[in-house]
Structure 1
Amino acid sequence: MIDITYSDEVARARESGAPLVALESTIITHGMPFPQNVETARRVEAEIRAAGAVPATIAVIAGRLHVGLSDEELDRLARARDVAKLSRADLSACIATGGTGATTVAATMIAAHLAGIEVFATGGIGGVHRGAETSFDISADLAELATTPVTVVAAGAKAILDLPKTLEVLETQGVPVIAVGQDEFPAFWSRESGLAAPLSMDTAEQIARAARTRRAMGLSGGQLVANPIPEAAEIPRDVVDPIIRAALEAAEAAGVRGKDVTPFLLDHIFTATEGRSLESNIALVLNNARLGAEIAKALTTLPA
């Protein structure tokens, strides 16, 4: 088993059995500029603490897998340049070569499971990219959800993706997709996508019980909890969809491919919405952190 470096706060939580919520680190290194990145990361951690759980931000630093970061480590990571973006394919290589990297959804799920953490809160998962029928561009997040037993709380999949195909792949992989408090699958910045959610639940307790039941049945993989963005922070679908289409056309015209597509699109959408997309992104991450804490707390009341 690989050695894991735990922060003091996370180590105490593990010893006492306190509820833990994993957090990714790409939002810090690749999501926004300094100092907004570290300020947002600390706000997310504070939301989890306020809800009665313990945050565990995950990253690889100088070849060590860290579960939970100190204030100094968080600040250093936020200022770092040329940080690798780690998924399942390159997580182990980064550790083996002494590198530093930020974890995506897939890598965070792997690390969380290694650390015995059952809940992970993020913004939105990756999925099937538009045009994947020719590019075969499908995020490793979907296969990870089918493999690794972690409950992932997100505001659906990123709206720049092909959401119908993303739901189809999740269904094929046997991943439960649970919308919270509504029957429609949310679309990241928007509460509605026009797509029915496969499952709907209203409480953290129901979601926690569903996770425990999967474990008891010996079913592999986790579950995706699709938590709609708060109404006050959403960008309605009829507003954001034309902006996304324009961003996709701009990416195609510029010949942007592969891992460069998502940051290009997000930057284009940020400019077109005059920063509103980033404000909404922060609001939905905070909302997901709160729900993640409630689910983690509910899990501590159930038999393991």
Structure 2
Amino acid sequence: MNALLDLHPEVADALHHGRPVVALESTIISHGMPWPQNAETALRVEAAVREHGAVPATIAVIDGRLKAGLSREQIESLAQQGLAVPKASRRDLPLLIARGATGATTVAATMIVAALAGIRVFATGGIGGVHRGAETSFDISADLQELARTSVAVVCAGAKAILDLPLTLEYLETQGVPVLGFGTDELPAFYSRESGLKLPARADTPAELAAVLHAKWQAGLEGGVVIANPIAREHEIPQPRIAGYIAQALTEAQAQGVAGAAVTPFLLARVSELTGGASLKANIELVLSNARLAAQVAGALVALHIQVGQT
């Protein structure tokens, strides 16, 4: 095991005995939602993973240590500190480790720590992607490069709706990252089930998803897989409605000079205000749905490994 990595005892025991484990990110705790919904949601997500047969491993950097699995106290501390906790992507990990600092892991950093721990399945809300206006700003999330290089499957509700979804899908294709729709032929648009963007492949059961993951990695094809799980219909915000709020939030961000890592939390918070909290509720529900599916996929992947090992 990596000398900089600490496994929570529950996670270490599950990995040792070959039981399914699901990685969870911590940026959603510190930057994705306000207190106290962030702590409540994080604990509900962990509970949803357990209810579906897997062990949750919320990931963060705490006092310079890479953590796979957090205590309740650590989750609540990240939630209460909120935006004061820096976001940690691949580029930030060396600095946090060297300085003995704390950081909330993005999708990219969570994938890195999960891979170090031997965790193959990760649940989040939405991945980062190509930002609108990237043809001049070059603002492209490190999540996409990490998906190309790190062998962890990411269960999400597509890319965040504030992004340029067609360019994000094109970038993933260029990087050779499979994007599988769970029960859908379209890329979900985070708050909405449909984006109008056709996906190259779909799967209708967790076992089918696990079979694709197993085949990819057994063939020596390193890199991640995006499992796009649409938000439940009863919780979605139709795309025509949410699009107007996102456009307004983007205009305000530009007018206020919001840039870089501050863009996503600003937009998510502003869209929540404009929707009267509806987008926050949708965000919580889609994360829970992704956690449940990730637990099932992790279980199916373990079962497949056992089956293959016995034949």
Alignment TM class, shorter chain as reference:
over 0.9
- Alignment partners' CA distance in 1, 2:32 and 2:96: 20
| Counterpart residue number, 1:256 | 258
> For 1:74 and 1:258, how far apart are their aligned partners in 2?
25
Deviation, 1:252, is 1.8
C-alpha distance in 1, partners of 2:81/2:256?
A: 28
Q: How do 1:113-152 and structure 2 match up within 5 A?
A: 113-152=115-154
Structure 1 counterpart of 2:159: 157
C-alpha deviations, 1:53-84, integer Å up to 9, x for none? Answer: 00000011111111101122222222236212
SS at match of 2:304: coil
Mapped pair 1:57 → 2:41: no
- Whether 1:175 aligns to 2:198 is no
Offset of residue 86 of structure 1: 0.3
Q: Is the 8 A contact 2:158 2:189 kept in 1?
A: yes
In 2, Cα distance between equivalents of 1:144 and 1:112: 12
When normalised by structure 1's length, the TM-score is 0.97
- 2:90 is paired with a residue whose SS is coil
- One-letter code of the match for 2:200? P
Q: CA deviation at 1:220?
A: 1.7
Are positions 1:11 and 2:5 aligned together? no
Residue matched to 1:233: 235
Cα deviation, residue 2, structure 1: 3.1
1: CA distance between counterparts of 2:81 and 2:38? Answer: 11
263-272 or 166-175: which moved more? 263-272
Alignment of 1:177-216 (within 5 A): 177-216=179-218
Structure 1 residue aligned with 2:295: 293
**CA separation in 2, counterparts of 1:71 and 1:258?**
30
Distance, in Å, in 1 between the alignment partners of 2:221 and 2:12 is: 29
Structure 2 CA distance for aligned equivalents of residues 9 and 74 of structure 1: 15
Provide the residue aligned with 2:72 in structure 1: 71
1:161 Cα deviation from its structure 2 partner:
0.3
**Deviations 1:34-69, CA, capped at 9 Å, x for gaps:** 222111100000000000100000011111111101
For the residues of structure 2 that align with 1:265 and 1:218, how far apart are their CA atoms? 39
User: Partners of 1:255 and 1:61 in 2: how far apart?
Assistant: 31
Which structure has greater helix proportion?
Answer: 2
Letter in 1 for 2:159: A
Point out the more displaced range, 77-86 or 88-97: 77-86
| Deviation by residue 1:158-205 (Cα, 9 ceiling, x = unmatched) | 000000000010000000001110111100000000111121111111
1:215-251 Cα distance to aligned partner (Å, 9 max, x none): 1211120100000001110000111111111111222
Partner of 1:35: 36
Q: Which SS does the other structure have where 1:28 is aligned?
A: helix
State how far apart, in whole Å, the 2-side matches of 1:63 and 1:252 are: 34
Match of 1:242 among 241, 244, 249: 244
Report the alpha carbon displacement of residue 15 of structure 1 after superposing the two structures with TM: 2.0
Mapped to 2, the partners of 1:2 and 1:203 lie a distance apart of 37
> How many Å separate the matches in 2 of 1:30 and 1:173?
28
Separation of aligned partners in 1, 2:192 and 2:34: 24
Aligned amino acid, residue 67 of structure 1: A
Q: What is the percentage of aligned positions where both structures have the same residue? A: 61
Is the partner of 2:226 in helix, strand or coil?
strand
User: Which residue is equivalent to 2:25?
Assistant: 24
Partner Cα distance (1:257, 1:135) in 2: 10
Structure 2 distance, partners of 1:26, 1:256, is: 18
List per-residue Cα deviations over 1:112-167 (Å, max 9, x = no partner).
00000000000000000000000000000000000000000000000000000000
Gaps in structure 1 of 5+ consecutive residues: none
In the alignment, what sits opposite 2:221? 219
Scaled by the length of structure 2, the TM-score of the pair is 0.95
State the secondary structure of the residue aligned to 1:302. helix
Task: Output the CA distance in 1 between the equivalents of 2:38 and 2:30.
Answer: 7
TM-superposed CA distance for 1:293, in Å, is 0.1
User: Which 5+ residue runs of structure 2 have no aligned equivalent?
Assistant: none
Partner SS state of residue 149, structure 1? coil
Aligned partners of 1:126, 1:153: CA distance in 2, in Å? 13
Tell me how far apart the structure 2 counterparts of residues 3 and 161 of structure 1 sit (CA, whole Å): 34
The question of whether the paired residues in 1 share the 8 Å contact of 2:32 and 2:268 is answered with no
